[in-house]
Chains A and B, each alone.
Chain A
Amino acid sequence: MINFRSIKAIYIFEMSRTFRTLIQSLISPILSTVLYFIVFGTAIGNNINFTNEIPYGAFIVPGLVILTISMQSVNNASFGIFFPKFLGTTYEILSAPISYVEIVIGYVGASATKSFCLGLLILITSTFFVDLNIKFPILMLCMLLLSCVSFSLLGFIIGIVSDNFEQINFVPMIIITPLVFLGGSFYTIDVLPDFWQTITLLNPIFYLVSGFRYSFFGTGEVNILISIFSISLFILLCIIIIWRIFKTGYKIKT
């Protein structure tokens, strides 16, 4: 039987951290996104046109949302589990009558919720700068949720395997940010030389951005089903890694 009360305890505890660090959790990412809109969407964007139908300001909205929520999901989840490790309070989680699945639901659920809300806030903010008509709103919400969950799972793994704060920051800064920027967040890949187009096809975030963009405009660079399949595969991979971590107690149990 699922121990809902324990999951709720972890979830609420993690969510309450957001309100203690409101500037870092919400205001800072929203401000960054506003700056992107001003610089890329308005100042430079008026001179850029990748597609005839979609203004550049609107075109970059899905990419900007993915950029922010990917970073925030990874940060939220990794800090969520790394902090107890750092403070030495994991003893309480490990000695509680709670399964590994429930621990993951608590931490990843809270992280994904925070990112999901942030994604929605960014979308709302973007309407102040561009006209946004979302073609498939339900699909958009599902894609947003899947993205938040997948990056939160990745963040959870990073939080467990990291031994210090430098390692926690390494993956988001050195791996995720470049992948998001090079994954077609701000351009379509057909503007790239052939070689780089091929390289981009190896970037998992490209499929995510493409799928997310499809839910906005009804067009994407790859089929929506391929995007959904890619995200699902990524989530499955993260779940398998987490399962192995708990099974072996790697960096959690002695």
Chain B
Amino acid sequence: MQTIIEIKNLRKIYKDNKVALDDVNLNIFKGEIIALLGPNGAGKTTLISNICGISSITSGDIKVKGFDVVENYREARKCIGIVPQELSFEPFEKVINTVNFSRQLFGKKPNEKYIENLLKKLSLWEKKDQIIRSLSGGMKRRVLIAKALSHEPDVLFLDEPTAGVDVELRKDMWNTIKNLQNSGVTIILTTHYIEEAELMANRIAVINNGKILLIDKKDNLIDRMSKKTLIIHTNSKINKIDKALGKFKLRISKDKKNLEYDYSPNKKKTGITTLLNEIKKTGIELIDVQTKQSNLEQIFVEILKND
């Protein structure tokens, strides 16, 4: 896969000596959606700000399409569009004017057709002559996306695009992001909504305390890190686990009717057959058996706990 952004040994230390990014290495591939997942203050926005030139780099290298963001900042920045976390606008400006301004600010010739198509794609064309202040929150967010895409960038940074957005608008935003990816734009998404990362991203990077703790394809990550739980429903109350079952590290459910057994589905031997045989020997009568897969949220919590 073609690398579009290459980050090497990136460090960012603020004036108060707070280390915001600590030796970050990351390659972002063309056409993918990569989610930067991390709690508040993890360094997600700082990373984006460093790539886009909004904050200065302490040390390390960042290249966008092969252009160094410091030495060849003009070429590098032409490739980038950014949608900030906050809804930041000149409130009395018309939608069409602010989008045209962004395009020209990035050195592009005016292109009415492109802007018209862009606004139509984002369902903003009807609102083009309205002042931004009069728009709803969701519309404002879309105007920010339109501004970021106005100069036809190859890479789009979306910093918490659905923060504070209601469920319906969030789904709407997810569709928009997917459509953008289909049109060939590489998307870097920061979020602390696990569901968003799980649904949208091709790859997920978990970031905490300025370090990338883990980066992998979403499916690999879930496969690699996931645990399954076997829930064994019995027809009698279980107060104590039989000694013979001690080696399986079973748990008793709250209603004391089920036994729970964690196992890794990727291992050759899960221990399920042996467990069920041992349970049979103890005389416990089984009613039902079911499995539960851990989701990305549980994996995320696990990773942060181990950090």
* Interface size, A (range): 20 to 34
A96 to B74, CA, bound (A): 8
Contact A92 B147 (CB under 8 A): yes
Please give me the residue from chain A that is nearest to B157 by CB atom. A95
Residues of A close to B77: CB separation below 8 A: 95-97
Q: Bits for A69-89, please: 1 = Cβ < 8 Å to B, else 0.
A: 000000000000001100111
Chain A residues within 8 Å of B109, by CB: 5
Q: Mark B76-95, 1 if CB is under 8 A from A, else 0.
A: 11101010101011111000
B114 at the interface (CB under 8 A from A): no
A254 smallest CB distance to B (angstroms) = 4
Given contacts A89-B88, A89-B89, A89-B90, contact A96 B55 (CB under 8 A): no
Contacts of B107 in A (CB 8 A): 3, 5-6, 96-98
Q: Are A8 and B104 in contact (CB under 8 A)?
A: yes
The one of A13, A16, A91 in contact with B54, judged by C-beta atoms closer than 8 angstroms, is A91
**Which residues of the partner chain B approach A99 to less than 8 Å between Cβ atoms?**
74
Distance to closest chain A CB from B258 (angstroms): 52
Cβ of B226 under 8 Å from chain A: no
Cα–Cα, bound, A93→B107 (Å) = 12
Say yes or no: B82 contacts A95, CB within 8 Å: yes
Interface centre among A6, A20, A88, A96 (most CB of B within 10 A): A96
Cα separation A93 to B101 with both chains bound (whole Å): 11
**Which of A13, A84, A91, A253 has the largest count of B CB atoms less than 10 A from its CB?**
A91
Count the A-B residue pairs with Cβ separation under 8 angstroms: how many?
A: 75
Given contacts A6-B107, A95-B54, contact A254 B73 (CB under 8 A): no
> Would you call A10 an interface residue if the criterion is a C-beta within 8 Å of the partner chain's C-beta atoms?
yes
Q: Is B59 located at the chain interface by the 8 A CB criterion?
A: no
Whether a CB of chain B sits under 8 angstroms from the CB of A94 is yes
Bound state CA distance, A249 and B75, in angstroms?
A: 21
How far, in Å, is B176 (CB) from chain A's closest CB?
20
- Assess whether A236 is interfacial by the CB under 8 Å rule: no
Decide yes or no whether A9 CB sits under 8 A from chain B: yes
Find the A residue at minimum CB distance from B75. Answer: A97
Known: A6-B106, A254-B49, A254-B55. A20 touches B90 (CB 8 A): no
Q: How far is the CA of A8 from the CA of B108 in the complex (A)?
A: 11
- Check B90–A87 contact: CB distance below 8 A: yes
Q: A98 and B88: CB pair below 8 A?
A: no
16 A/B residue pairs, CB under 8 Å, sorted by A: A5-B108, A13-B101, A83-B90, A84-B90, A91-B88, A93-B105, A94-B53, A95-B53, A95-B54, A96-B105, A96-B106, A97-B76, A97-B77, A98-B105, A254-B14, A254-B56
Q: Which residues of B contact A (CB under 8 A)?
A: 14, 49, 52-56, 73-78, 80, 82, 84, 86, 88-92, 97, 101-102, 104-109, 147
